[in-house]
Amino acid sequence: MCLICGAQLTLHFALLDEFSVLPYLNHGNLTIIPNIKITKWGDRMKKIFSLLLISLILAAVIIGSGVYNIAATEKHWPVTEKLIEWMRISSVNAHVKSMEVPSLDSTDMDMIVTGATHYHAMCTGCHLAPGMKPTELSIGLYPQAPVFYQREATIDPAKALEQMRAYFWVIKNGIKMTAMPAWGLSHDDATIWAMVAFISRMSGMTHEQYQELTHSTQGSVSGHDHHDHSHE
């Protein structure tokens, strides 16, 4: 009976706080001793909280002092770039997980031409085009915008589907703290999917193929005027 009661009392006192005490029976007498384990746990939590508080204070001092250089000419540390890339990929994947991709038949030339025309008007300043020289804008970007025609084609159907979802979401919503705008504010989903269809087939595209697609219609499309970009 005493052993059982002792166990119950120990459990009861141990749940109080870091200053709790533990009872035990010593030859029939109830003796009170400090709860050493809980005290150590409390000390450990105090140290962790203190370190976090000091880290926040240091971060506030560094940010407020302006010592951190936010210039685009000052590159991130490699570990910072990896962290930002991981966060970006994780965020995009989380938002496109349940997205349905419409039929983007590569033989639907009307859709491809629509995407190509909008890409030519909206995207070449940053993402360039086959045979096009780097622009002043593309050179000054940090992070650098991807050059789609230089990318290897995605052969795996599942990965290609994931890539198209990501392209659509990024084109529509943009990316914070980059030069990527949210085109969804001024373009409907059908137009953006047409751009996705075109971008998805840009890998290895030649200058002649690009010119044929982007100049197959005359005038403007959805308010976009054709621009003559400098090509090699």
Residue 228 maps to a domain: no
- Mapped onto helix, strand or coil, the DSSP state of residue 148 is helix
Do residues 155 and 133 share a domain?
Answer: yes
CATH of the domain at 159: 1.10.760
pLDDT tens digits, 66-99: 888 889 999 988 998 999 999 999 999 999 999 9
Do residues 177 and 146 share a domain?
Answer: yes
Domain boundary among 38, 68, 98: 68
Do residues 156 and 210 share a domain?
Answer: yes
Do residues 36 and 102 share a domain?
Answer: no
Domain boundary among 25, 49, 68: 68
Closest CA relative to residue 199, chosen from 102, 138, 121, 112: 112
Residue 10 maps to a domain: yes
Residue 106 maps to a domain: yes
Residues in the chain, overall count: 232
Residue 230 maps to a domain: no
pLDDT tens digits, 195-224: 999 999 999 999 999 999 998 764 445 556
Residue 41 maps to a domain: yes
Total count of domains within the chain: 2
Give the Cβ contact number of residue 15 at 10 Å. Answer: 9
Do residues 149 and 46 share a domain?
Answer: no
Residue 20 to residue 39: CA distance in whole angstroms: 8
Residue 19, pLDDT score = 43
Do residues 121 and 59 share a domain?
Answer: no
Amino acid identity, residue 13? F
Residue 9: domain span: 1-68
Residue 2, pLDDT score = 45
Do residues 119 and 205 share a domain?
Answer: yes
Residue 31 to residue 23: CA distance in whole angstroms: 6
pTM (two decimals) = 0.72
Residue 173, pLDDT score = 98
Residue 122 maps to a domain: yes
Residue 221 maps to a domain: no
Residue 32 maps to a domain: yes
Do residues 101 and 129 share a domain?
Answer: yes
Do residues 141 and 198 share a domain?
Answer: yes
Do residues 125 and 194 share a domain?
Answer: yes
